[in-house]
């Protein structure tokens, strides 16, 4: 998470701020990852706190959209 520097030939330098959110769910018995979710978004460094919170809430909803995973299909 943090700034990423992107170089462009004609325009000099440009900073893109990328927000990344990741969540790993572990099985407590086996200590193995059973599900992993991730979401990312280019952030507006000048955004108000309310807008940042709204984006975070949307990111969490996007991340959890596929949780819990469907049960494995039986053969």
Q: Give the three-state DSSP class for 36.
A: strand
CB of 38 closer than 8 Å to CB of 59: no
CA 44 to chain centre: 15
When divided into structural domains, the chain yields a total of 1
Assess if residue 32 is contained within a domain.
yes
What is the span of the domain harbouring residue 12? 2-66
Give residue-wise pLDDT tens across range 12-31.
566 678 888 888 999 999 99
Assess if residue 74 is contained within a domain.
no
> What's the pTM?
0.60
Assess if residue 72 is contained within a domain.
no
Assess if residue 35 is contained within a domain.
yes
Assess if residue 73 is contained within a domain.
no
Give residue-wise pLDDT tens across range 51-65.
989 988 988 898 898
Assess if residue 75 is contained within a domain.
no
Assess if residue 20 is contained within a domain.
yes
């Amino acid at each position: 998470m943090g700034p990423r520097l992107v170089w462009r030939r004609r325009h000099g330098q440009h900073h893109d701020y990328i927000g990344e959110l990741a969540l790993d769910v572990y099985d407590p018995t086996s200590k193995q990852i059973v599900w992993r979710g991730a979401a990312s978004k280019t952030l507006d460094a000048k955004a108000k706190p309310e807008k940042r919170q709204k984006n975070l809430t949307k990111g969490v909803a996007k991340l959890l959209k596929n949780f819990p995973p469907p049960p494995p299909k039986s053969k």
